[in-house]
Amino acid sequence: MAITTTVIGAYPKIGDELPLQALRRALHERDRGGIDDAALDAEFDTGTERAVREMDEAGVDVLNHGCIRWDDLFSSFVRAWRNVSREALERWFDNNTYFRVPVVSGALEVRAPATVREYEVARRTTKRRVKGALCGPFTFARLSEDRHYRDRSALALAVATALRAEVDALGAAGCDLVDIEEPALARWPEDLRSGAVRRVYDVLAQGSRVGIALQLSMFPADAAIEHVAQLPVAQIGVDVRSRPTRVLERISLERQTLVLGVVDARNTKLESPDEIARLVETAARRVDISRLWLAPTTSLEYLPHDIARAKLRVLAEGARTALAAGGAR
Amino acid sequence: MTEALLTTTVGSFPKPDYLQRARNQRARGKLSVSELRDLERRATEEWIRAQEEIGLDILVDGEQYRGDMVEYFAEHLEGFRIGGLVRSYGNRYYHKPIIAGKVRRPKPLTIDWFRYAQSLTDKPVKGMLTGPYTMLDWSYNEAYPTRRDACLALAEVVAQEARDLEQAGARYIQIDEPAIHARPEELDIAIEAMHIVTDGLKAKTISHICYGDFAAIYPKVLELPVDQLDLAMANYGYRYLALFDRDPFTRELAIGIVDVHRHETESVGEAAEGIRKGLRYVTPERLLPHPDCGLKTRTVDEAKEKCRVVVDATRVVRAELGAKARR
């Protein structure tokens, strides 16, 4: 038996060394009209392959495609849907990273799959299991400007409907697990008290063979955790590392896998394997160790490339140390 | 009598191509420090001349010698290590610093540049500093046990720099805190730190705030001990002005009337309307039109165009106010 390790969200698109900056140069070139979209697409694929290879080499068990094509959590979906556009620049929660606010001007319609290409690139680059990555409907609804539905729950439901088409497209491509990143549900846990949450996640999960992993990243999930256990999701991810939290005292999961964010993706300081093992030990008192996965607390893209790689190595080593220590000891 | 609607900018201007090339050459060791400094001084003078020609009232040195507003200070303060590249948005990256030890200022960081820029013009030039809370929030803290500890340590070094700027003749000292709304629950820490920086200063103090949930920190942010708050507004369609209906704005307001993250510039008419919106909340003597944020992400031509629109829009509104006063 081993403790499964995984990643969440975006991986650094470039590194400091010149050869690792090809994508940055290609984007500049495209802006200047020096290359066409096909050439840029090829560069995105190359960047995705590099990210996947690095995750693979670090020993991560379940990978994603690194979201190399994404400007922000919403950009790929906004570009693939009708009646929504990317507008004003806004700060991404409490991070010095920015996103374009989606402005919804009509009923959301799916034009084309948003992430299948990058999923397929990742699949052919590694023999390891690859999962999909999607934005959360509530996070989209909270952070967008809604000029059409005029109701946050209605917008979240419409986003979930569009995302379900993406889940199905990923399923057809061979994907059996997708992350839904919902930092907004950790930031505004009151949204979990509305009846809409169950409806939204039913839309995403009901009748699908693709498991849903709800990732409550960026903020402590203390106030959210009691409300998510009943959702039809296969996994729940919580940050137990980057800020003080008592979420592990409150968690009670009958069937879901708990994805523990044990390496801080927003601080360069490297965790020791023993620190990770201690977090696993605490979690294993509440959730059977067979249902524990380990992950960074959020997207590794908030770190420089070299540190992100080091964090993945620490993650894999921490999982081995925790297992050797016996989890619940 | 104080002049009405003094125009200004937030701080940074784009680097001309020759300076960008020189910085790249310097990074590869193919240019000496003194050769780079000469080009930085040339670019600084060009921006001072450009601001005068456009007709701005309160000038900036344009930060031609800085890469990033936190990185520059981190490079020159003890206790920092410069980390690798991290993306801020789109295809833009910065070297995010790491607070790796006790922070100390071995020598002044911006004073010579302020003196040089001010020597080039009779108009006032602002002294430009990054605030302690933003320096903390935009760095990785590996050294201090708490964020408050790190922030207050940074405040001490920013305070030393602010006092030196004042001694060097700065009439305006801007201490930027664009990260102040990152964690609204930490606003008290940012205010405590700003007291360390501004208490006892006689110069006019300013703090620039942009791109975040301003509503989450208003009206508490009025406790920030500065004379003037400098706010991005055009990017938000001026929606944050509505907050001032409930809780009156009590500081001078430097108001962003052109968006800096788009290539296109608003029309003079649109920008003038932004000024009129601001005038509903503060008097003309306490309202300073400017672009939403630093202009370094734009081309040189775009940056000049955006400044021109600010000045032209201000002239339109000044004329209206003059006509009203004569009636």
Query: Which of A14, A16, A71 is facing B90, going by the closest CB pair?
Result: A71
Q: Considering only CA atoms, which of B155, B177, B159, B178 is closest in space to residue B167?
A: B159
Share of chain B above pLDDT 90, in %: 92
Q: Which domain holds residue B200?
A: 17-67+106-137+144-326
**pLDDT on residue A195:** 86
All residues at 6 or more sequence positions from B204 whose CB lies less than 8 Å from its CB, including other chains: B171, B172, B173, B227, B228
B29 close to A (CB below 8 A):
no
Give, rounded to a whole angstrom, the gap between the first and last alpha carbons of chain B.
20
For chain A, the domain total comes to 1
A72 CB-contact burial (10 Å; exposed 0-12 / middle 13-18 / buried 19+)? buried
Which of chain A's residues have a Cβ under 8 Å away from the Cβ of B83? 268, 304, 307
Residue B138 C-alpha, separation from nearest chain A C-alpha, in angstroms? 6
Give the CATH number for residue B23. 3.20.20.210
CA–CA dist B178, A218 (Å, integer): 20
Residues A96, B181: C-beta atoms closer than 8 Å: no
Residue A90 C-alpha, separation from nearest chain B C-alpha, in angstroms? 5
Rounded to the nearest 5 degrees, what angle is found at the Cα of B77, between the Cα atoms of B76 and B83?
A: 80
Does residue A37 sit in helix, strand or coil? helix
Residue B96 resides in a domain: no
A85 close to B (CB below 8 A):
no
Structure tokens given for A19: 């050869």
Which of chain A's residues have a Cβ under 8 Å away from the Cβ of B86? 12, 301-304
Q: Looking at chain A, which residue has its C-alpha nearest residue B90?
A: A71
Residue B308 resides in a domain: yes
Which of chain A's residues have a Cβ under 8 Å away from the Cβ of B85? 14-16, 304-305
For chain B, the domain total comes to 1
Contact present, A55 and A7 (Cβ < 8 Å) = yes
Cα-trace Rg, chain B: 19
Residues B140, A16: C-beta atoms closer than 8 Å: no
Q: Mutating which of B81, B85, B96, B137 best tests the A interface, going by the most A Cβ atoms within 10 A? A: B85
Give the CATH number for residue A52. 3.20.20.210
CA atoms within 13 A on the CB side of A53: 7
Sign of CA pseudo-dihedral B113, B114, B118, B124: positive
CA–CA dist A140, B136 (Å, integer): 28
Q: Which domain holds residue A225?
A: 4-325
Residues A89, B182: C-beta atoms closer than 8 Å: no
Q: Looking at chain A, which residue has its C-alpha nearest residue B182?
A: A94
pLDDT tens for each residue of chain B, 327 residues long: 468 999 999 999 999 999 999 999 998 899 999 999 999 999 999 999 999 999 999 999 999 999 888 999 999 999 999 999 999 999 999 999 999 999 999 999 999 999 999 999 999 999 999 999 999 999 999 999 999 999 999 999 999 999 999 999 999 999 999 999 999 999 999 999 999 999 999 999 999 999 888 999 999 999 999 999 999 999 889 999 999 999 999 999 999 999 998 888 899 999 999 999 999 999 999 999 999 999 999 999 999 999 999 999 999 999 999 877 776
**How far out from the chain centre does Cα A241 lie?**
17
Q: Using the 8-state DSSP alphabet, how is residue A32 labeled?
A: T
Residues B88, A97: C-beta atoms closer than 8 Å: yes
CA–CA dist A278, A272 (Å, integer): 10
**How far out from the chain centre does Cα B82 lie?**
22
Q: What is the pTM of this model?
A: 0.90
Contact present, A4 and A62 (Cβ < 8 Å) = yes
Type of residue at B147: R
pLDDT tens for each residue of chain A, 329 residues long: 789 999 999 999 999 998 999 999 999 999 989 999 999 999 999 999 999 999 999 999 999 999 999 999 999 999 999 999 999 888 899 888 999 999 999 999 999 999 999 999 999 999 999 999 999 999 999 999 999 999 999 999 999 999 999 999 999 999 999 999 999 999 999 999 888 999 999 999 999 999 999 999 999 999 999 999 889 999 999 999 999 999 999 998 989 999 999 999 999 999 999 999 999 999 999 999 999 999 999 999 999 999 999 999 999 999 999 988 875 44
Residue B84 resides in a domain: no
Q: What is the 3-state secondary structure (H, E, C) of chain B?
A: CCCCCCCCCCCECCCCHHHHHHHHHHHCCCCCHHHHHHHHHHHHHHHHHHHHHHCCCCECCECCCCCCCCHHHHHHCEEEEEEEEEEEECCEEEEEEEEEEEEECCCCCCHHHHHHHHHCCCCCECEEEECHHHHHHCCEECCCCCHHHHHHHHHHHHHHHHHHHHHCCCCEEEEECCCCCCCHHHHHHHHHHHHHHHCCCCCEEEEEECCCCHHHCCCHHHHCCCCEEEECCHHHCCHHHHHHHHCCCCCEEEEEEECCCCCCCCCHHHHHHHHHHHHCCCCHHHEEEEECCCCCCCCHHHHHHHHHHHHHHHHHHHHHHHHHHHC
A116 close to B (CB below 8 A):
no
Residue B278 resides in a domain: yes
Sign of CA pseudo-dihedral B35, B41, B42, B43: positive
Q: Mutating which of A35, A75, A78, A89 best tests the B interface, going by the most B Cβ atoms within 10 A? A: A89
Complex prediction ipTM:
0.94
CA–CA dist B271, B257 (Å, integer): 5
Using CA atoms, how far residue B75 sits from A197, B7, B28, B87, B294, in Å, is 47, 31, 17, 19, 20
A172 CB-contact burial (10 Å; exposed 0-12 / middle 13-18 / buried 19+)? exposed
**pLDDT on residue B262:** 85
Residues A268, B142: C-beta atoms closer than 8 Å: yes
All residues at 6 or more sequence positions from A262 whose CB lies less than 8 Å from its CB, including other chains: A240, A241, A271, A275, A276, A279, A280, A294, A295, A296, A297, A315, A318
Residue B262 C-alpha, separation from nearest chain A C-alpha, in angstroms? 9
**pLDDT on residue A328:** 44
Structure tokens given for B280: 């509903």
A95 close to B (CB below 8 A):
yes
Rounded to the nearest 5 degrees, what angle is found at the Cα of A226, between the Cα atoms of A225 and A229?
A: 85
